[in-house]
Structure 1
Amino acid sequence: MAAHERTLADVECWLTDMDGVLVHENHALDGAAELIRHWTETGKRFLVLTNNSIYTTRDLRFRLLASGLDVPEENIFTSALATAEFLKRQHPGGRAFVIGEAGLTTALHEAGFILTDTDPDYVVLGETRTYSFEAITKAIRLISAGARFITTNPDATGPSKEGDLPATGAVASLITTATNRDPYVVGKPNPMMFRSALNRIDAHSETTAMIGDRMDTDIVAGMEAGLQTVLVYTGITRPEDVTTFPFRPDYEFSGVSELLESLRGGEA
């Protein structure tokens, strides 16, 4: 562990990624349930973050419960919610053509947006299990006609039982090639998602830490948002990968079970 002024003992609030940190393929990872319980029992404010915009927080709570994790709805924050908050600040009561699922459409509805394909202010691209060529064509035409292009996250692929699926980032590249317009990407690694999360739980960057399994999204965004960063090796990034990046996490653990041991032992 790197020597620095702040330590994990100073952390009052926690942000954590979901897939690869708390769950893997709908199964809770070792120590995840205990870590959530520890935060609850010690009164720590926390949010579980995900770049996936498919599900509502209610859906995600149900999915997490099925995997053995009891996370309240109000402790879940998605790229769909971050996108809705961003657009509400940018253009209250605006109009949007949306490619996505219930997580995104519900968040935009609740933010006061009108969802329409008639003269929208924005084209908002999120995750969906079945991208429609017709919808993508409509998005290209609307963006070419002047609608601003927003995406919930940059992930190029997503997992499925059969293998990787094209995801938001890949479809966004197709639209960019056709329109010559780059999207504004709201989700990780944009630190804006982290700032929105901090505001949601009334947290300060000086006393907040981010747990993630990816150097290129979780750790870089946490670092840029001024948080302490904790990398776990139960997801994408492997120990040998860390040296290939020009930045490092503040802490590295095999998984959240080892992190929890450290927190309980006051070793940090």
Structure 2
Amino acid sequence: MPERKHIESWLTDMDGVLMHEGVPVPGADAFIRKLRDSGRPFLVLTNNSMHTARDLHVRLKRIDLDVPVENIWTSALATAKFLDTQHPGGTAYVIGEAGLTTAMHEAGYVLTDADPDFVVLGETRTYSFEALTRAIRLINNGARFIATNPDNTGPSPQGALPATGSVAALITKATGKDPYFIGKPNPLMMRTGLNAIGAHSESSAMIGDRMDTDVLAGLEAGMETFLVLTGLTAVPDIDKYPFRPTEVVDSIADLVDRV
């Protein structure tokens, strides 16, 4: 195989890589600081569409991870960017929180429940029966179905919560229509992120804690991939997949000197 180019740009997942259950992973602050000091393009990614990049900047700053707003890329931003390129100035019925609705507004979309071009499903802690019923009827009437990410569950102190993927399955069951998922492992999220920072896949790397989203998305986008063991994946899990990361490391602390 031809030798890859030196890594000039870094993409990293947030939960399980930079922090775990709201606590920063040792070495995460040094990694972010090194990236900022180096001037290299980088992005912190999350499949969660609930929060705006500004919200996440503040949340990370509270645990001493200083990530600029422009270096945060969410599935909500990727979704809005995708729709803007596919159908500029369109209309959408949106189920989600401020992270998604703000991104859609900023992309020039009008949010409406009157004959929208798209139904866009994102993350929320208050999925309502009425909103889901409306979404089902709009899709049955011809609206195209988009979902921000395929994650079936999300974490909480009390245990797993239903997330976009499982709610999308409910809508699919009722309509017979599958959504187009924008977030990881769709490499589209990585490519739009790389475009946002002017980076190229052949000289970029993705850091994640999940084989089925982070590593797969990075692999399919043509990037080097680093799996960290501070999140959901343990070493015995790796061989369950028909693909492998470029490298497995204990934590992001092991990558500080690679920047």
Which category of TM-score, normalised to the shorter sequence, fits these structures? over 0.9
- Give the CA deviation at 1:6: 2.4
Amino acid in the other structure paired with 1:5: E
- Give the CA deviation at 1:167: 0.5
Amino acid in the other structure paired with 1:31: G
Question: Of residues 158, 167, 187 in structure 2, which corresponds to 1:162?
Answer: 158
Quick one: distance in 2 between partners of 1:254 and 1:4?
27
Deviation sequence 1:44-98 (CA, Å, 0-9, x none):
1100000000000110000001122000000000000000000001111111000
**1:118 corresponds to which residue?**
114
- Give the CA deviation at 1:205: 0.8
1:59 aligns with 2:55: yes
**1:28 corresponds to which residue?**
24
**2:180 corresponds to which residue?**
184
| Equivalent pair of 1:27/1:68 in contact (CA under 8 Å) | no
**2:221 corresponds to which residue?**
225
**2:33 corresponds to which residue?**
37
- Give the CA deviation at 1:4: 7.2
Question: Structure 2: any 5+ residue segments left out of the alignment?
Answer: none
Alignment RMSD (CA, Å): 1.1
1:11 aligns with 2:26: no
Quick one: distance in 2 between partners of 1:47 and 1:258?
18
TM-score by length of 1: 0.95
Quick one: distance in 1 between partners of 2:27 and 2:213?
23
| Equivalent pair of 1:26/1:63 in contact (CA under 8 Å) | no
| Equivalent pair of 1:31/1:260 in contact (CA under 8 Å) | yes
1:146 aligns with 2:142: yes
Q: How many residues align?
A: 259
Amino acid in the other structure paired with 2:67: V
| Equivalent pair of 1:32/1:69 in contact (CA under 8 Å) | yes
| Identity level (%) | 63
SS class of match (1:206): helix
Quick one: distance in 2 between partners of 1:83 and 1:4?
34
Quick one: distance in 1 between partners of 2:92 and 2:14?
28
1:239 aligns with 2:231: no
| Equivalent pair of 1:125/1:151 in contact (CA under 8 Å) | yes
Amino acid in the other structure paired with 2:242: P
Deviation sequence 1:142-198 (CA, Å, 0-9, x none):
000100000000000001111110000000000000000000000000000000001
Amino acid in the other structure paired with 1:236: L
TM-score by length of 2: 0.98
**1:204 corresponds to which residue?**
200
- Give the CA deviation at 1:25: 1.4
Quick one: distance in 1 between partners of 2:177 and 2:63?
40
**2:87 corresponds to which residue?**
91
